[in-house]
Chain A
Amino acid sequence: MKFKIVFTLLCFISCPAFLLAQKYSINGRIKDARNGEDLIGASVKVKDVAGIGARSNSYGYYSLTLPKGTYTFIYQYLGYEKQEVTVVIENNTLKNIQLTAVEKTMKDVVIKASKEDKNVTRTEMGVIRLDPKAIETVPVLFGEKDILKTLQLTPGVKAAGEGQSGFYVRGGGVDQNLILLDEAPVYNASHLLGFFSVFNSDALKDVTLYKGDIPAEFGGRASSVLDVKMKDGNNKNYSASGGIGLIASRLTVEGPLVKDKGSFMISGRRTYADLFLKLSQDSLRKQSKLYFYDLNLKANYQVTNKDRVFLSGYFGRDIFGLGSTFGFDWGNSTATVRWNHVINSQIFSNTALIYSNYGYRIKVGFDDQKFEIKSSIRDYDMKQDFNFFPNSKNNIKFGFNVMHHTFRPIEFSGTGLNVPDSLQNRYALEGGVYLQNEQNISDKITVKYGLRYSVFDYIGPGSAYTYDAKGNQLTKTGYANGETIKLYGGLEPRLSGKYQLNEVSSVKASFNRNYQYMHLLSNTTTSSPTDIWVPSSNNVKPQIADQAALGYFRNFKDNMFECSVEAYYKTLKNQIDYKNGADLFTNAELESELEYGKGRAFGAEFYVHKQTGRLTGWVSYTLSRSLRKFANINEGKEYSARQDRIHDLAIVAMYDLTKKIKVSANWIYYTGSAVTFPSGKYNVSGFAVPYYTERNGYRMPDYHRFDIGVTWVRKKTDKKESNWNFSLYNAYGRQNAYSISFQQNADNPQQSEALQTSLFRWIPSISYNFKF
């Protein structure tokens, strides 16, 4: 039924293309001339005809339908040389294009490289795109390039804490970000309690964060979508690149499977700080382990002119062990198989089969007593997307997906000890259908309208409970395999529009609704490997976020400066918190421990980005609030969410001092997080107990730091490159509060005190990077 509607709509929209005969399409792929990587979002314009153009999609594919005739097309991509091609269009024409990257050789960079005005001309707003290459000189903690930490320096994105890779987008929670790696969801995107992200920058091609105006093809999280794409691999030559750092090393190898037809990429990273433990005299420390590794793999092959297949996979693990008594490991694995098919010159199809798994395992044991805990979440997903280019005015996307989730909350096993009962697995099906059109109404006005219908089916086998207001069990009902326990569904409109004021400025507006059917329960504010995902159920309702945004975009000096101001207002329904003292770890009736409420967030984001020249970088400032309201928390009064930080400022600068030496620096300032501190004290059972009144009524001290980095290019030719990178994190040694705890003075138990812990002061790092 739904599909019928979708197709009727499609026919309606595409009708003009069929009625006005004599129209043909030019289509093909836009690639990097050097290594054959697809260029995402490259533009194609028709010379001397305003308002007609197309952009390559995430597979580098473009299609443009025009009346018969001779045209000159301009192919453009930021940092690449512009290419003009004259083509006689008499029938559907395949035109693959290879663009050459402009070598950044100081002076001529301004003249040759294409400078894009996409900031102003694109319909989308609330979107941040990062090219992992462009940000590699930004100084980071331990010299480990990390796209999640660089994203935190952009407006509307906040770090979840000092050194954390977790992030908040526009007042939403860490779990409200859908993180996709080659379309596979990544459930715990961090290593070592969040100090490192799972994304090895060497393996990545493109990173896009949608803070608002989320395209209809994405669904499932309330706040944002982070779409991370791995490199396809060089399909012309074999090459290797890598780096050796203080705490981790990386190696990436890529090359053609069949020249110009297929390629592969394999990338690995491992930390080795724990190898120093082996030098220790202490036997236990010698036997201790603490490290993580990542492995990224990708291969693609152009089977025919119209078909291309991709295989991508990720595997990462954190391993922590103490002698033989304690072991703890956790990590994600994902796999994606995709098939791109050009149905005809106007319709592009992508079919994906996706697997994702996150799990942890804890082993405790001494001698004959052994005990093991396992927990995981596993997804199988089938996704079908179509991209239809009926004419030069419309770009239609539609498709559907069906996903199966298995939640294994906790499983115990062991010998020689009391082994607790395992909790039952839970299952759910999640799906969505969507249709979206981006329509060029006039030279000045472009609109994008989309609708997504999502469903979530919480299914058996399993038991479902109902509770009274106090969390006491009322009923328990058993369900058979595949039987629906609770079905949810909802329409998610996604609307946006752009009005071009003049060549260099535009105004944009958007409205978005997003449903989130899975929820992360965490006892802590930073990422923990034991955080658990739970499905929406008869007790837990889906979270719903509505966001409206308005933006003004203006470029200066021939697009050298991109500037924007965006304001947003967001409401959040069915937010989750826990009752005091909730046991989230081993609780079969977890849902009896939850509280439900609502939230709102609003703010303004200011962004100035200098794209070209010897000095590049940006200034980002966000003024925002994020508030929550729960009937049983804070006496029902609205309170600040933890991420309610009013001011956030980041300045990032990269400067080419000479051809060989690049200097970079960051300065970051933000208001302290909202936090609950005691407003009194009393004694019970010999303990001095803090007395709390207001939720999140206090603030951590303001945070600021300055980082500096120097990259020294030792050698740079077409094929070979090597450089040294030095950086100093928190260069002026500010003692930023990582935590403040309240405790009794050890010498005088009557005296209470506040103890501040700071983590990183003057953290130097050095790394050597190479490519050949």
Chain B
Amino acid sequence: MKNILIIAIVLLFFTSCQKVIKVDLNTANPQFVIEANLFEGTHDFKVHITKTTSYFNPESAPAVLGAVVTLSVNGNPAQTLMSAGNGWYELVNYTATNKTSYTLSVVAEGKTFIADSYLPVSPVMDSLTYRKFNGGFGGTGIDPYIMTAHFQDSLGIGNYYRVIVTKNDSIQNQPFDLYLLDDKLRDGEYFHAPVFTAFCDIGDTMDVELLSMDKYVFDYYSTLGTILTGDANNSAAPANPNSNWSNKALGYFGAFSTQKKSLRIK
């Protein structure tokens, strides 16, 4: 909201100018970054372990090798992931089921990191519709159609969703594309969620994926979104996203159930 307003005011009144500047930043001691995504059904389960670098370093993040990564289900004995090189660890053709708690444990360079994630039941996305949108900013540069996802939220607060859009085979993954929904204020209702993050035009093929996750993964994404879209001076002081990893590791371990629908705009 505030961003729209600032843009509007700047457009109307002010001569703003932007330039890339040089800022002298400190480099913190490298921290562990662990990202793990576990999807319902049978997929390769992949975990990526890296470290932080200095902010302006153009090279990719340094990989953490030789880690011992284990996955346990509902507290049962753990399975060890195979190293796939370059900081990747995987379980090939692993089957994850809903209503299950998973615990991932990482031991690397003498440190142990543990995260839990619950894989919830996904609601059925009944349909995906689109309609003409009489809005948008300045009327230019924005496609004229907007999609709406329709699904039934299950009763009981605590359903958390993320919508990922693929437009003409290209995943929309800019900071402002991080679209999160929860049922805090509309528990148990039938959702008509307008996909404000991706407008479309005639001829586009749109894939919409609805991810369900637990509170902690949702919290990670929403705090991640805050720092990716905020600007350092005018937002409240930014902080690192709330991770479900113990021992101050960055990143997250998320277990997701998903629903997907495709649509061609005609």
Contact = CB atoms under 8 A, between A and B. Distances in A.
Contacts of B50: 682-683
Interface string A728-772: 000000010111111000001011111111111101000000000
Contacts of B35: 683-685
Q: Is the interface of B mostly helix, strand, loop or mixed?
A: loop
Interface residues of A, number: 90
Contacts of B51: 682
A740 B191 contact: no
Given A418-B191, A692-B239, A740-B232, A687 B175 contact: yes
A679 B27 contact: yes
Contacts of B219: 581
B173 A686 contact: yes
B31 interface: yes
B192 interface: yes
Contacts of A675: 232-233, 237
A524 B235 contact: yes
Contacts of A420: 184-186
20 contacts: A192-B9, A193-B5, A195-B9, A282-B138, A320-B5, A323-B135, A325-B133, A366-B133, A581-B222, A679-B25, A680-B31, A680-B52, A689-B241, A691-B28, A692-B240, A735-B17, A741-B231, A751-B56, A759-B14, A760-B14
B231 A247 contact: no
Interface of B: 1-2, 5-6, 8-10, 12-23, 25-28, 30-31, 33, 35, 50-61, 131, 133-140, 171, 173, 175, 184-186, 189-192, 219, 222-224, 226-228, 231-242, 250-252
A277 B12 contact: yes
A421 B186 contact: yes
A523 interface: yes
Contacts of A741: 231-233
Given A284-B136, A420-B185, A758-B17, A680 B228 contact: no
Contacts of A350: none
A489 interface: no
B238 A684 contact: no
A678 interface: yes
A78 interface: no
Contacts of B251: 682, 684
Contact of A737 (B9, B12, B137, B233): B233
B80 to A, nearest CB: 23
Contacts of A679: 25-28, 55
Contacts of A618: none
B223 A581 contact: yes
Given A325-B134, A420-B186, A320 B8 contact: yes
A751 B58 contact: yes
A56 B132 CA distance: 66
Given A695-B237, A696-B237, A681 B57 contact: yes
Contact of B58 (A288, A528, A581, A748): A748
A683 B185 contact: no
A277 B8 CA distance: 12
Contact of B21 (A285, A691, A756): A756
B5 A739 contact: no
A324 interface: yes
Contacts of A167: none
Nearest to A423: B185
Contact of A684 (B33, B135, B226, B231): B33
Contacts of A192: 9
A742 B59 CA distance: 17
B234 A328 contact: no
B192 to A, nearest CB: 6
A597 interface: no
B50 to A, nearest CB: 6
A682 B21 contact: no
Given A290-B9, A418-B186, A682-B250, A530 B232 contact: no
A282 B233 contact: no
Given A587-B184, A755-B21, 12 more contacts: A328-B1, A367-B131, A581-B223, A679-B55, A680-B28, A681-B55, A682-B52, A684-B35, A687-B224, A748-B58, A750-B59, A761-B17
A290 B55 contact: no
B173 A742 contact: no
Contacts of B250: 682, 684, 689, 691
